[in-house]
Structure 1
């Protein structure tokens, strides 16, 4: 077996792995975070990861684009987020005693916090949808004057 053959096999395997990862990300970007009362909410993405607090009204939305289709759930009016753990890290810090060092958490505790936060996000979104909240203001295209 020649060295070029081995390198070719390695490159082929790496291409398969990269292609599979791209396929998975492409399909995850279409995943509906919440489908409620004929409104679909998706995660907003930055590169190859979904953002924790940013959501979009269309699938496969890349954050920080010029066309506003996403929103930060932490900026919803308090009437929708009241009593919910929208930001679990902030909640943990608020419950800590002054000067107390935050203990390390297990992966199970982190997973539980994320699930709790996502359920809180869904509840806040349902409240807003029930109230006919406009998540993203549509902006009219600006025409340059001549």
Structure 2
């Protein structure tokens, strides 16, 4: 009997999952680095290959994606699984601890959406006065 990998039935990640107009720097809560919250969101539906993560995270370099995944793994949010075989298959998945971040990130994302204009106005005002940190 051939076992079917549960990840074969996952829907592909949407290339437009993250609005390029909405800067990730607006997220009021960060887990790890700038990209970590988006990576966690990409893994919500199940394990993903590195190349799958690159689709919605098209602006991240492979090096930075690798660093972010390693940091998430180090902190216990993500597990990296290597499936041996003719073609080595590596997948990343959220751990139970990593799944606890999903609710927190949903709340933070909703806050950022509700206050996007205010934050952008504050940044523009700071830029005009030369006080942009």
Q: Shorter-chain-normalised TM-score: which range?
A: under 0.3
Higher relative contact order (CA 8 A, sep 6+): 2
Q: Give me the TM-score of the superposition, normalised by structure 1.
A: 0.25
Higher strand share: 1
TM-score by length of 2: 0.27
Give the greater-gyration-radius structure (CA).
1
